[in-house]
Structure 1
């Protein structure tokens, strides 16, 4: 059984394996090391497909495709794909299933366990959803690891870093993280992390699209309808232009026969300069400077204390990004490992740590702080809630954090226990904030549970313990010391076992049908090769051609019983021909 590391990215995903020589990327069934994070259905067969084929379908059959759901992980939403609806974990599970199946073909063994990476700033519900996506895909998720931590592992292995302070700057397709890492021999200590889960290359693509669309409308008086085929044609063309501008100072977005006006075809042709592009995206990229400063401050270090700066994520290829990082840090930024592959390679390195074949120790943090809302009994009147922090920003994984509270009323029956997460870049720095926390202050309600209170007077002690587990998710214990009664739960439970089982069956059924189709298509190709070489006797040739025609009609009609019968008959006939 194989144990793999997976970078489940916003725009692309990769899978890697750790071998005696170290981690390496595993190609998918199409020979790609980098797989587009898109899922959909083949327009002809209606079978599930993943990767670049689906991405291309946005320009022809957008209703059969979906992609870039990473930012929606943990959200209570459903997305329409064809005639079915899927949750973000189910869509991610299809991408993971494709990676798993590809690795099994390449490695010639089953994949049963994995390490999956997530942004350091990923909230608890999104981490839980990622873990459950892996389970739906048919793997045990042995660990969820932060992406910059994985990149640090990859660089430590590749370059033999021993005693250094390193900044990992990770700007990908949809998220941004920065971590300050201390290498101490076999110990990798993450001192601090910060970032923005809603900043990445897709935002730069959107800005470029808006600019080009406005130019086109000004010239031709034609607005581009959102989510149309032309919208996606332009979006992908803008993405390619963005990449071109990383190497050239000017380029053009050109799409022949883009649309029709007054019966005449209209071409789209807009010239772009790198300087114009940088003006568009500069304010977004400049936001990362605040996160770098925050991470350095939390680590109690300055730029001069950092021995090297590592760039990770495809968006770090943008010259403006590298220039900003080098200006802030006053040193060259390095990208010796392919920025698109470093995280997956580090995830594979983490599998060796989990398995015990590596002696390396990782001491990670979670950049988000967590707390709860509490009430106050002032002069006999219960006041509105306020936020009380329990885990500070960059709390260490596995380190318990405790706060003691008390009940506010005599014979209080329940505690409406709420778990709040605070954004790592929130302006609210104090541990206690008046009033119920809200999103405007950088807070998100990630869990809620009603807890029965033992009968007794007001002022009963309530001991609350929060712990980051190794996957960066919150385990909570609420204890009443007077009675010894304890309640243990997780901040966000996500899907229950029945829902996971139902989603897994839904996925398995779809992929079994797809795998069967591939087998049948391979059989048809084998039969056509036999016919092409002219060695089939005339009487059997006529019979074989007839059965193949019948099989193709059965496939078109999705007649499973007839497909099975013809598959067996053609297989038998081909066997006869071989002898």
Structure 2
């Protein structure tokens, strides 16, 4: 059994291909979306998902979110007294999803298709694969998110020829892919994107506007509890605009309450630069695909941030038509990953389906360009694999040293589109020794191989000596060695993670704690009493008392959730 996993910045999902269709698997609290959040409880155990997200406001220094943006870097996140790499935090989310699937399917899960942003770098992809290994999963394939969305969409359109664009705006990343579906072949024509553009960036700008409009003291930016509450309220207001013309943001610090009304006009004004940035990857993808907008049959939305009316209006204006909303944008990537899992398992219902993908970046090396006379210009980027080349792909180019009898050359590998190598992302370097010979007779053949997982292999061959060098990427802070992965896997396995069957009750308590901190006066006292009643029920360890108590406590929390800013202090 192979599962499909959408490992998202804000939320993650897991799905399976069975009985000829993709099906999402609910988590331990019965929800399809599992927040990509991790928290350390007071007893040192780990909470993942909804319970961890509730604790972001009450225990901000013991909780973490948005760590997907740190994948492939040497950053660490401190929770309590312990520092974690982003791969480890992502592994905890993957492990939670894996356990949910095992409970639902009644069998162990060892293999997975994990989705990544199309514009993820080599280091980010390897970090994602490492996260899967740390979670105890064999990662069968890394699948680009817009390609996954296209699979979920295209599987229903198999009998027709269609060209469409996937517009995937998630919590932390933005991807665009242009695809062609014909005779059961799903061909990616071009991809583009922005790894630091997503729904979280809209929230960040609105938080800054709140400080200005509500005249919030700048010192409160250093108050972690206040900032988490504000972030949560801004996120709720942003989502509320999808269903109402106006929303209100209200946050207190114990001394005063600050408020701001938010409508679509204000959101578009605050986020105009972000909305403008969404256009550039779209234009690049269409240029690379050599496809006019008029020839697109449909626009497919993926990612929760595409629910924003401002984004949908911008898409409609850009393409002159309304985008397709047939499939829930929060779920479409996970469903597509399940389709890919079905392809991997050779399911009979997918016998005829073939899928191709492309390299999102140009990959190459830096070179020296000869000028007039004996002058040279260094540091020019020379692509070996051009962006949007169909993968898997292997390309080779021959290079020559600058001087006769040169003893060695420095081979630096980059990814990007800039003319100068220094403006691209350096992936690694290799020093190659050369035998003494005239420069014109002493070439080096550089071969780059890029696979369907978006992982890069580099080989440099010196024909004169017959030596072959493989590129070992040193000093890359985003990579863990196999030995380090094994060591960290053992350390993570020793961490106490709350049992799946207790997570629903732990989530209710975390939610109650968050609401208690938001309330004041009599409502706060009333909620405190309800929390104690539920805790007493849990202490009995009697399921017949706990189940009805949990149902009643959830109703109480729903009441206070909807009334928390309307109840007067008494």
- Quickly name the TM-score band, shorter chain normalised: 0.7 to 0.9
Paired residues in the alignment total 507
CA distance in structure 1 between the partners assigned to 2:18 and 2:238 by the alignment: 36
Task: Encode CA deviations 1:193-244: one digit per residue, 9 max, x unaligned.
Answer: 11111111000011111111222226xx564224610001000100000001
Is 1:303 equivalent to 2:293 in the alignment?
A: yes
CA distance in structure 2 between the partners assigned to 1:64 and 1:350 by the alignment: 36
- Counterparts of 1:488-499 in structure 2 under 5 Å? 488-489=470-471, 494-499=479-484
CA distance in structure 2 between the partners assigned to 1:412 and 1:94 by the alignment: 50
Is 1:40 equivalent to 2:39 in the alignment?
A: yes
CA distance in structure 1 between the partners assigned to 2:545 and 2:498 by the alignment: 27
Deviation at 1:451, TM superposition (A): 3.0
Does structure 2 retain, via aligned residues, the 8 Å contact 1:16–1:345? yes
Q: 2:127 matched to which residue of 1?
A: 129
Is 1:180 equivalent to 2:162 in the alignment?
A: no
Inter-CA distance 332–465: structure 2 relative to 1 (3 Å threshold): same
CA distance in structure 2 between the partners assigned to 1:153 and 1:474 by the alignment: 24
Does structure 1 retain, via aligned residues, the 8 Å contact 2:400–2:444? yes
Is 1:474 equivalent to 2:456 in the alignment?
A: yes
Bigger CA drift: 301-310 or 388-397?
388-397
Is 1:394 equivalent to 2:384 in the alignment?
A: no
Q: 1:574 matched to which residue of 2?
A: none
Pick from 445, 460, 470 the counterpart of residue 426 of structure 2: 445
Does structure 2 retain, via aligned residues, the 8 Å contact 1:161–1:183? no
Pick from 468, 475, 485 the counterpart of residue 500 of structure 1: 485
Q: 1:404 matched to which residue of 2?
A: 398
Q: Which has the higher relative contact order, 1 or 2, with Cα contacts under 8 A spaced 6 or more apart?
A: 2
- Counterparts of 1:176-325 in structure 2 under 5 Å? 176-217=174-215, 221=217, 223-226=219-222, 228-255=224-251, 258-260=252-254, 265-325=255-315
Pick from 353, 369, 372 the counterpart of residue 362 of structure 2: 369
Task: Encode CA deviations 1:296-317: one digit per residue, 9 max, x unaligned.
Answer: 1111110110011111111111
Inter-CA distance 388–102: structure 2 relative to 1 (3 Å threshold): same
Q: 2:319 matched to which residue of 1?
A: 329
Q: 1:28 matched to which residue of 2?
A: 27
CA distance in structure 2 between the partners assigned to 1:234 and 1:297 by the alignment: 41
Deviation at 1:22, TM superposition (A): 0.7
What TM-score do the two structures reach when normalised by structure 1?
Answer: 0.83
Q: State the Cα RMSD in Å.
A: 2.5
Does structure 1 retain, via aligned residues, the 8 Å contact 2:112–2:138? yes
Bigger CA drift: 266-275 or 189-198?
266-275
SS at match of 2:155: helix
Q: 1:542 matched to which residue of 2?
A: none
Is 1:85 equivalent to 2:79 in the alignment?
A: no
Task: Encode CA deviations 1:76-103: one digit per residue, 9 max, x unaligned.
Answer: 1222111111111111111111111111
SS at match of 2:58: coil
Inter-CA distance 240–527: structure 2 relative to 1 (3 Å threshold): closer
Does structure 2 retain, via aligned residues, the 8 Å contact 1:151–1:342? yes
Deviation at 1:385, TM superposition (A): 2.9
Task: Encode CA deviations 1:500-528: one digit per residue, 9 max, x unaligned.
Answer: 001111111114x6449969x99x96974
Pick from 98, 104, 124 the counterpart of residue 100 of structure 1: 98
Bigger CA drift: 55-64 or 137-146?
55-64
SS at match of 2:421: coil
Pick from 441, 458, 468 the counterpart of residue 486 of structure 1: 468
Pick from 412, 418, 421 the counterpart of residue 415 of structure 2: 421
Q: What are structure 1's unaligned runs of at least 5 residues?
A: 534-579
What TM-score do the two structures reach when normalised by structure 2?
Answer: 0.84
Deviation at 1:372, TM superposition (A): 0.6
Bigger CA drift: 31-40 or 487-496?
487-496
Does structure 2 retain, via aligned residues, the 8 Å contact 1:368–1:394? yes
Does structure 1 retain, via aligned residues, the 8 Å contact 2:428–2:471? no
Q: 1:16 matched to which residue of 2?
A: 15
Deviation at 1:73, TM superposition (A): 0.7
CA distance in structure 1 between the partners assigned to 2:381 and 2:223 by the alignment: 41
Inter-CA distance 222–168: structure 2 relative to 1 (3 Å threshold): closer
CA distance in structure 2 between the partners assigned to 1:106 and 1:234 by the alignment: 36
Deviation at 1:185, TM superposition (A): 2.3
CA distance in structure 2 between the partners assigned to 1:242 and 1:530 by the alignment: 39
Deviation at 1:337, TM superposition (A): 0.6
Deviation at 1:333, TM superposition (A): 0.5
Q: Which has the larger radius of gyration?
A: 1
Q: 1:73 matched to which residue of 2?
A: 71
Does structure 1 retain, via aligned residues, the 8 Å contact 2:159–2:184? no
